[in-house]
């Protein structure tokens, strides 16, 4: 199995000059002599009139060109979304997640997805206390040790939600992916930290205790190529576009949207990421606890490549099993061929990691 790491400075403004200059070379429709501060007019030109077909434009819209989706090991399989209640008792949380995973597997799930921060309360004061040394493993990371053991015993793939991770004196919000042999296939550290302030509604600053990750993650598994994001990562379409350009069949987002943004944006963002990229999107939230702390919206969901909601929960604790059918991905892209209709003569998404590795 192979995990792809992509620089977190994907489209950062500080790299604009670099990207713009690089585009002059890689894109024949952008003049190498155009100053950076020049105005670009939309009037037609002889160059544009004789430009290649739209399929070539489309290739230019991704730099380097997009990687075709690989043939997945399974065409159809079941995913289990485990929307779990979370308490301040870490041992209880781990035991509870173990039972839920076993339950999902007994109902036919080949892939199990857990919520964001399922072993700890979602609070800045809790993250350092509940953090585990994932690289050390064993007793230093009882949460991931349990996930590894169950993936091996049950012969399933587990996208292990996320837990606080301690590494090098820092704390991260980290998702681990385990293969059917129990081995760690990938580790994704939340790239975009949840720092928001909506007066009178919610204020939460993850960066007070957490450090942002540096590498987006695409991983090959026994159930296909999966991109990983955590909660706030779903708000950034560039990340999902990079995953699609790397050939992902599915993007998994463990997340814990709140009672302010959840009703407005949670389903909208899932359907947007699936529709824009014509792939599956799966999310998993903690169950709602109306206590004094952070209150999650719930509504774990599976969305298909046309943006259709295939399965969803309400806000209570629940495990749902739903079918993923990769055989519909190519027909959907043929029905609505946006991947072949992009205008690479006008815009371009740059995958800096792949570009620099070339």
CB distance 116 to 231 below 8 Å: yes
> Following CA atoms 306, 310, 316, 317 in sequence, which dihedral angle do they give, to the nearest 10 degrees?
-110
Nearest to 158 by CA among 253, 80, 76, 266: 80
Q: With left for phi above 0 and alpha for psi between -120 and 50, is residue 153 left, alpha or beta?
A: alpha
Phi-psi region at 187: left, alpha or beta (left = phi > 0; alpha = psi -120 to 50) = beta
Q: By C-alpha distance, which of 167, 163, 191, 166 is closest to 177? A: 163
- The alpha carbon of residue 297 and the mean position of all alpha carbons in its chain are separated, in whole angstroms, by 19
Tokens 């298909």 identify what position? 304
The alpha-helical segments, DSSP class H, found in 248-335 are: 267-277, 329-335
- Please pick, among 90, 116, 206, 317, the residue that the annotation labels catalytic: 116
Maximum pairwise Cα distance, the chain: 69
Closest CA to 8 of 196, 193, 134: 193
231 annotated active-site: yes
Among 90, 175, 176, 190, the one annotated catalytic: 190
**Non-local CB neighbours of 258 within 8 Å, separated by 6+ positions:** 202, 204, 294, 295, 296, 297
The answer to whether residue 284 is catalytic is no
**Active-site residue, 222 included:** no
The 8-class DSSP code of residue 258 comes to B
The catalytic residue among 82, 176, 231, 252 is: 231
Active site residues: 116, 190, 231
């Amino acid at each position: 199995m192979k995990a792809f790491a992509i620089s977190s400075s994907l489209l950062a403004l500080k790299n604009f000059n670099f990207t713009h200059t690089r585009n002059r070379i890689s894109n024949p429709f952008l003049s190498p002599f155009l100053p950076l501060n020049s105005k670009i007019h939309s009037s037609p030109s002889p160059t544009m009139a004789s430009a290649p077909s739209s399929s070539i434009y489309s290739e230019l819209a991704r730099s380097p060109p997009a990687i075709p989706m690989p043939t997945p090991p399974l065409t159809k399989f079941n995913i289990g979304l485990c929307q779990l209640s979370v308490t301040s008792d870490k041992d209880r949380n781990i035991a509870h997640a173990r039972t839920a995973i076993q339950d999902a597997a007994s109902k036919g799930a080949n892939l199990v997805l857990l919520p964001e921060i399922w072993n700890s309360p979602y609070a800045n004061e809790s993250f350092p206390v509940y953090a585990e040394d994932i690289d050390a493993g064993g007793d230093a990371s009882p949460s991931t040790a349990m996930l590894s053991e169950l993936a091996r015993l049950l012969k399933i793939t587990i996208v292990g939600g996320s837990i606080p991770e301690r590494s090098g004196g820092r704390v991260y919000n980290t998702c681990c992916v385990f293969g059917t042999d129990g081995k760690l296939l990938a580790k994704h550290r939340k790239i975009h930290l949840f720092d928001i302030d909506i007066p009178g509604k919610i204020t939460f600053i993850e960066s007070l205790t957490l450090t942002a990750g540096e590498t987006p993650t695409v991983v090959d598994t026994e159930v296909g190529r999966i991109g990983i994001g955590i909660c706030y990562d779903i708000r950034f379409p560039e990340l999902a576009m990079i995953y699609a350009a790397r050939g992902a069949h599915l993007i998994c987002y463990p997340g814990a949207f709140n009672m302010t943004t959840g009703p407005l944006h949670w389903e909208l963002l899932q359907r947007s990421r699936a529709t824009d990229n014509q792939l599956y999107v799966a999310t998993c939230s903690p169950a709602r606890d109306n206590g004094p702390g952070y209150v999650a919206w719930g509504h774990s969901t599976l969305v298909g490549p046309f943006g259709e909601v295939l399965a969803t929960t309400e806000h209570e604790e629940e495990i749902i099993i739903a079918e993923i059918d990769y055989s519909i991905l190519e027909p959907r892209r043929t029905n609505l061929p946006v991947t072949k209709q992009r205008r690479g003569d006008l815009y371009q998404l740059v995958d800096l990691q792949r570009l620099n590795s070339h």
